[in-house]
Structure 1
Amino acid sequence: MADRTVADLVVDRLRAWRVPRAFGYPGEAIAPLVEALDAAGGDPEFVPARHEETASFMATGHAKFTGGIGVCLATQGPSAVHLLNGLYDAKLDSKPVVAIVGEDVTGPLGGAHEEIGLGRLFGDVCNQFVRYGRAPGQVVALLDQAFRTAAATRSPTCVVLPRELQGTAVPDLQPQAAGVLTATPGEPLARVLPHDADLDAAASLLTVGQRVAILVGQGARGAEDEVVALADRLGAGVATSLLGKPVLDERLPFHTGVLGEAGTTAAAQLMGGADTLLLVGTNDPWTDYFPMAGQTRTVQIDIDGRRIGTRYPVDVPLVGDAAETLRALLTRVHDQPNRQWRATVEGSVDRWRQESIARAGAPAQPVNPQLVLHELSHRLPRRGAIAVDVGSVIYWYARHLELPPGVNAQLCGTLGSMGCALPYALAAKFAHPDQPVLALLGDGAMQLNGLAELITVAQRWHEWADPRLVVLVLNNRDQSGMGGGRQVTDPTHRRPDVPYAGWARLLGLHGVRVDRPDLVGAAWDEALAADRPCVLEAVVDPEVPLRPPEPALADLRGVFADGDAARRVRERMLATRMTVEAEDLV
């Protein structure tokens, strides 16, 4: 029997932490660990990516879609540098990821091939924990600390393991030996609840509010029922951040949609008319669309007290788990909804839904990208996952794709890095191979790394119980990267056209190309019914405007003391089809 090595200890520890797979790009400095993973029989498995950046996006996507800890592997030098994008995505969106980096420096320090100071390289993105393994007896405890820190701080961590150490044979380590630490794997996260006095203060503030708005972020996952119950009790309207879009059923009549530049008119109007604001698990950066400071009294719930009050002034901070905190509030808030305010919100939602249909149906050359997402909306499978890339596709996703319960959607929300969707989709598919997955991206993201990662799809799809992984490519050939009404007249600003659907067919996948609006629905039907992964290439008009909503009615504070100003606001209400009577907004 061959001697066990440190690499085998690492595999054992990944298994103890219930890590199902590690994503990475093989290299000499990480080779002993990759070989140990290959010998592990798939528990955990090693998933080779086409690039280290996509491997780190896969690890972050795993954390986002599963709630577990993602793991990525790389070697020193440029390989390690390429991990940074996905790790910063994890850091900014508060997801636990552990990066294990191999190092092979045998020459004099400062002159070795591919040598980079890894501690300094990862010192910011993994600022909670970056450590080097120096001796076999340290490795188990080192990994446990990395995993426990990632889970507790919801952030990426890094462990650097020299190649020589990975291949070192290890005897049965004695806990009493000098330098040998033992630890128990697990994530004993604390139960966090606000103090009763703070809950009482929050309940009093919410109860006296006449026009309550609730902004829901990703931190409200698992608290859907409590959010809806509180909204009904207060007669509140609800909006979400981009990251919070999958939390609630978007078919609710008082759900105004996504707030912000990519969001809806109804959500902007909700914030403009509110006098009381409840923030639940959100760190939304689009503060231009929040009510004016002083317009509302505000309660904020967040598990991380460092985030409270960083985006908007807060009267009552509540540090705690969203679901438990909301349940505690429900025992203190009386059932006295403002029916008139709720009716106003629902009327605004109805008007926005009609407007979104009209926008999707507007003529374009050749296809309106809003139509592509609108046609998908009522064809969405009732379960599965959606990965969304960066670019104009975010606008169409936020406004035109109505998410039902049971469909998880994720995007690179805070970092905003292009090229995340296909790695995310692969992570979601590996986690749930029996469920359909969609990736929504533009041609820029597809050329950035999507074309390469389709090779991974082609290599692995035969293992999936449900073969459906549909990759939508909005092909607008716009080199500016955003489209949205920019007139592209210079041919050098046109992105080179690539036969995306043809590339998929060349790899043995299914490919559909659509350039007529009347065939968009049929193209979706074909893609979703295919017996293998499919690339749906939609040739869309880059000149369709993004049309960010105006921060509607956000200047109402104090305006009604001036009769002329009141008249101007009434005219503005009519222009935006907001039917709230001026005296009801004072």
Structure 2
Amino acid sequence: MPRNAADFLVETLIDWGIDTIFGLPGDGINGVMEAIRTRQDKLRFIQVRHEETAAFMACAHAKWTGRIGCCLATSGPGGIHLLNGLYDAKLDRAPVLAITGLQYHDMLESFTQQDVDLDKLFQDVSIYNTRIMSAAHIGKAVELACRSALARRGVAHLTLPVDVQEETLEEASPSPRNKPHPAGMRAAEGLLLPRPEDLDRAAALLNDASRVAILAGRGALGATAELERCADLLGAPVAKALLGKAVMADDHALTTGGIGLYGTFGTHRAMAGCDALLIIGSTFPYVEYYPQPGQARAVQIDRDAQHIGLRHPAEVGLVGDAKAVLEELNARLKRKADRSFLADCQKEARRWREVLAAGLTPPRTPMHPGAPLAVLSRRLTADAVVVTDSGHNTGLTARYLDLGPSHAFGVSGLLASMSCGLPYAMAAALAFPGRPVFAVVGDGGLAMQLGELATAVRYRLPVKLLVIKNNTLGQIKWEQILFLGNPEYECDLQPIDFAKAAEAVGAQGFSVSEPGALEERMQAWMAAPGPAVLEVAVDPNEPLLPAVVSETYRKHLEKALEAGTAGAEALKAALRRLPAKAMMEAK
């Protein structure tokens, strides 16, 4: 039986099915830590080295499992450290519960140590946020927090003064209106479906169009068969937003691959030529890669009505679960006899893959950054889990690593935060014991959370980190050049020997710089027991370009190279090689 507020809190979390908490002990949460310690048979505590990692892991846990991810941090700086990972959960709509400590309730806002009003600080990131000031408040607050996180798919935050954590239930005096009302809800039940007349309107629009394209995102995961059926009926090429990479196999005949900066020739042709667009479970943010205004009528499927028409005007919005909605919509669609638009986009998609492959041959030193991804792609088993960090490594993964519905894929989506790769991988290893887990990270992002390799060692998590080492912030470098036409500035990084860093904390470390040794070193890395790092030294000058470089970007590129960008001649030489040469020439 719970004896105090912290016990009641933890017991309620267990009742809600929370079995793992990610965090770092601190004196502002000692009461909660004791309640967890005495319930180790029901609740697993994963100690991290930085609270930001705890929040990233809670977010990733929620994405991997669909259940509430929970993180815990002490008062003041501990709670502040959670925010980046919690914004990741907010923007990607992952159900997360954050619990933080506060100083003694009668010392708050008196300039005492670590006196930070965390409930005020968390107002923007949270969909439910409250300060618990009595053991009598625990039941309702925790129930509402968990219910809100699940129902509204976001971050709930509870913060407790350190002395309230120790308050016994007998000491608490509930108000006359505070009656126990146990919550029956654990998750949303039933599937929301659009009105039949809206489905009819959507089908009529798509049936009348002659060149339909589909954009599928994370919301389409779990609806692969229905998506494939829809695309086949409409003769529609399927472009995939990054979070939807695994919704359809990358080598499937109906997909053109990624979109945006990580897009392909096929996707560019689809978006530039379609007269109707079906958006399924995506809020891909870069509107410049959608069809031009007035070009294409649109139907959008999303479980959240707030997202309808957010990026592209939607003539018909269908609110509901993608799988269920597509089943209803497919029953109303007519199979298009004219497949010429699909065939044209497929031809461009094949040409894209041929250009990428040609750019890797012959092998060269310094190594093409896509080379290790291409080797890993050939070696992945069907049950592999892949995560990536944010940066140049993300684009390489999007383009050179083939995934499909049997895989699981994760990344910080709308937040696109660096340093997410290792935390996501560790959360995957905990959520999917027995499945191989790979993280593709850059030397910039991994350096931010390098100490968390010790966490992977502590819990014997068999994560495999592929470090793309170019000693530069590659994506930022090319954004400086392409977006504004400015010379690269302060993107070079002080080199770190990540293989030795891995060994220093008890993991295994491998490194390779010669293409001829890549296969052998990768085989040893993949076979290594426990956590292991493979550092691959790659060409820092390989461009990160969209599949079709706009005239604006061409002018910016020319301006930046002539204005003093370091290593301009090497960059110009890289632009003359495949695949960059083909991107620069594409229309």
- CA change 1:317–1:178 in 2 (3 A) is closer
SS at match of 2:261: coil
After TM superposition, give the deviation of residue 179 of structure 1 in Å: 2.0
> Residue 547 of structure 1 aligns to which amino acid in structure 2?
L
Give the corresponding residue for 2:554: none
Task: Return the alpha-carbon distance in structure 2 between the equivalents of residues 307 and 491 of structure 1.
Answer: 37
After TM superposition, give the deviation of residue 336 of structure 1 in Å: 2.5
The answer to whether the Cα contact below 8 Å between 2:545 and 2:583 also exists between their aligned partners in 1 is no
Task: Return the alpha-carbon distance in structure 2 between the equivalents of residues 298 and 491 of structure 1.
Answer: 41
Q: Deviations over 1:176-195 (max 9, x none)?
A: 96524332251134521111
Task: Return the alpha-carbon distance in structure 1 between the equivalents of residues 2 and 90 of structure 2.
Answer: 38
Give the corresponding residue for 2:5: 6
Task: Return the alpha-carbon distance in structure 1 between the equivalents of residues 176 and 583 of structure 2.
Answer: 78
After TM superposition, give the deviation of residue 456 of structure 1 in Å: 0.4
The answer to whether the Cα contact below 8 Å between 2:61 and 2:428 also exists between their aligned partners in 1 is yes
- CA change 1:337–1:37 in 2 (3 A) is farther
SS at match of 2:130: strand
Give the corresponding residue for 2:528: 530
SS at match of 1:63: helix
> Residue 274 of structure 2 aligns to which amino acid in structure 1?
A
Give the corresponding residue for 1:45: 44
- CA change 1:217–1:242 in 2 (3 A) is same
> Residue 114 of structure 2 aligns to which amino acid in structure 1?
E
Q: Does 1:475 align with 2:469?
A: yes
Task: Return the alpha-carbon distance in structure 1 between the equivalents of residues 119 and 40 of structure 2.
Answer: 32
Task: Return the alpha-carbon distance in structure 1 between the equivalents of residues 373 and 52 of structure 2.
Answer: 28
Give the corresponding residue for 1:78: 77
Give the corresponding residue for 1:386: 386
Give the corresponding residue for 2:453: 454
Give the corresponding residue for 2:88: 89
Task: Return the alpha-carbon distance in structure 1 between the equivalents of residues 285 and 74 of structure 2.
Answer: 34
Give the corresponding residue for 1:513: 511
- CA change 1:435–1:110 in 2 (3 A) is same
After TM superposition, give the deviation of residue 209 of structure 1 in Å: 1.5
The answer to whether the Cα contact below 8 Å between 2:525 and 2:534 also exists between their aligned partners in 1 is yes
After TM superposition, give the deviation of residue 363 of structure 1 in Å: 5.5
SS at match of 1:301: strand
After TM superposition, give the deviation of residue 232 of structure 1 in Å: 0.7
The answer to whether the Cα contact below 8 Å between 2:386 and 2:437 also exists between their aligned partners in 1 is yes
Q: How does 1:186-335 map to 2 (within 5 A)?
A: 186-335=186-335
Q: How does 1:484-563 map to 2 (within 5 A)?
A: 494-550=492-548
The answer to whether the Cα contact below 8 Å between 2:2 and 2:11 also exists between their aligned partners in 1 is no
> Residue 469 of structure 1 aligns to which amino acid in structure 2?
V
> Residue 477 of structure 1 aligns to which amino acid in structure 2?
N
RMSD: 2.6
SS at match of 1:495: coil
- CA change 1:510–1:135 in 2 (3 A) is same
Task: Return the alpha-carbon distance in structure 1 between the equivalents of residues 473 and 261 of structure 2.
Answer: 21
After TM superposition, give the deviation of residue 341 of structure 1 in Å: 2.0
After TM superposition, give the deviation of residue 202 of structure 1 in Å: 0.3
After TM superposition, give the deviation of residue 576 of structure 1 in Å: 6.4
Task: Return the alpha-carbon distance in structure 2 between the equivalents of residues 221 and 30 of structure 1.
Answer: 37
TM-score by length of 2: 0.89
Task: Return the alpha-carbon distance in structure 2 between the equivalents of residues 254 and 200 of structure 1.
Answer: 24
Give the corresponding residue for 2:576: none
Task: Return the alpha-carbon distance in structure 1 between the equivalents of residues 378 and 427 of structure 2.
Answer: 25
Q: Deviations over 1:517-554 (max 9, x none)?
A: 1222222211111122210000111100012122789x
Task: Return the alpha-carbon distance in structure 1 between the equivalents of residues 549 and 152 of structure 2.
Answer: 34
- CA change 1:529–1:316 in 2 (3 A) is same
- CA change 1:172–1:219 in 2 (3 A) is farther
After TM superposition, give the deviation of residue 483 of structure 1 in Å: 5.1
Give the corresponding residue for 1:374: 374
TM-score by length of 1: 0.89
> Residue 314 of structure 1 aligns to which amino acid in structure 2?
A
> Residue 100 of structure 2 aligns to which amino acid in structure 1?
V
After TM superposition, give the deviation of residue 129 of structure 1 in Å: 1.0
Task: Return the alpha-carbon distance in structure 1 between the equivalents of residues 123 and 205 of structure 2.
Answer: 42
> Residue 234 of structure 2 aligns to which amino acid in structure 1?
L
Task: Return the alpha-carbon distance in structure 2 between the equivalents of residues 48 and 354 of structure 1.
Answer: 46
The answer to whether the Cα contact below 8 Å between 1:478 and 1:493 also exists between their aligned partners in 2 is yes
- CA change 1:67–1:337 in 2 (3 A) is farther
Task: Return the alpha-carbon distance in structure 2 between the equivalents of residues 164 and 227 of structure 1.
Answer: 54
Give the corresponding residue for 1:559: none
Moved over 6 A (4+): 172-177, 485-492, 573-578
- CA change 1:362–1:445 in 2 (3 A) is farther
SS at match of 1:111: coil
SS at match of 2:266: helix
Give the corresponding residue for 1:352: 352
SS at match of 2:545: coil
Q: Deviations over 1:412-437 (max 9, x none)?
A: 11111110010111111111121111
Give the corresponding residue for 2:562: none
SS at match of 1:309: coil
After TM superposition, give the deviation of residue 96 of structure 1 in Å: 0.8
After TM superposition, give the deviation of residue 217 of structure 1 in Å: 0.7
- CA change 1:49–1:108 in 2 (3 A) is closer
Give the corresponding residue for 1:68: 67
Task: Return the alpha-carbon distance in structure 1 between the equivalents of residues 335 and 488 of structure 2.
Answer: 60
SS at match of 1:18: coil
After TM superposition, give the deviation of residue 25 of structure 1 in Å: 1.3
SS at match of 2:464: strand
Q: Deviations over 1:368-418 (max 9, x none)?
A: 111111111111121131111011001101111110332111111111111
After TM superposition, give the deviation of residue 365 of structure 1 in Å: 4.0
SS at match of 1:312: coil
Task: Return the alpha-carbon distance in structure 2 between the equivalents of residues 489 and 224 of structure 1.
Answer: 43
Task: Return the alpha-carbon distance in structure 1 between the equivalents of residues 396 and 415 of structure 2.
Answer: 19
Give the corresponding residue for 1:20: 19
The answer to whether the Cα contact below 8 Å between 1:440 and 1:472 also exists between their aligned partners in 2 is yes
**What percentage of aligned pairs have identical amino acids?**
36
The answer to whether the Cα contact below 8 Å between 1:483 and 1:543 also exists between their aligned partners in 2 is no
Q: Deviations over 1:427-481 (max 9, x none)?
A: 11111121111111111111111x20000011111xx6xxx31011111111566
- CA change 1:499–1:7 in 2 (3 A) is same
- CA change 1:83–1:362 in 2 (3 A) is farther
Q: Deviations over 1:96-149 (max 9, x none)?
A: 1111111123536331111112222001011x2111112222212211100111
Task: Return the alpha-carbon distance in structure 1 between the equivalents of residues 338 and 19 of structure 2.
Answer: 49
Give the corresponding residue for 2:572: none
The answer to whether the Cα contact below 8 Å between 1:24 and 1:55 also exists between their aligned partners in 2 is yes
The answer to whether the Cα contact below 8 Å between 2:549 and 2:583 also exists between their aligned partners in 1 is no
Task: Return the alpha-carbon distance in structure 1 between the equivalents of residues 455 and 261 of structure 2.
Answer: 34
* Structure 1: runs of 5 or more not aligned: 554-572, 579-586
- CA change 1:551–1:324 in 2 (3 A) is farther
Q: Does 1:408 align with 2:402?
A: no
> Residue 155 of structure 1 aligns to which amino acid in structure 2?
G
The answer to whether the Cα contact below 8 Å between 1:272 and 1:552 also exists between their aligned partners in 2 is no
After TM superposition, give the deviation of residue 74 of structure 1 in Å: 0.9
> Residue 52 of structure 1 aligns to which amino acid in structure 2?
E
Task: Return the alpha-carbon distance in structure 2 between the equivalents of residues 546 and 362 of structure 1.
Answer: 20
The answer to whether the Cα contact below 8 Å between 1:485 and 1:545 also exists between their aligned partners in 2 is no
SS at match of 1:243: helix
- CA change 1:52–1:486 in 2 (3 A) is same
* Structure 2: runs of 5 or more not aligned: 552-581
Give the corresponding residue for 2:150: 151
Task: Return the alpha-carbon distance in structure 1 between the equivalents of residues 474 and 133 of structure 2.
Answer: 47
Give the corresponding residue for 1:584: none
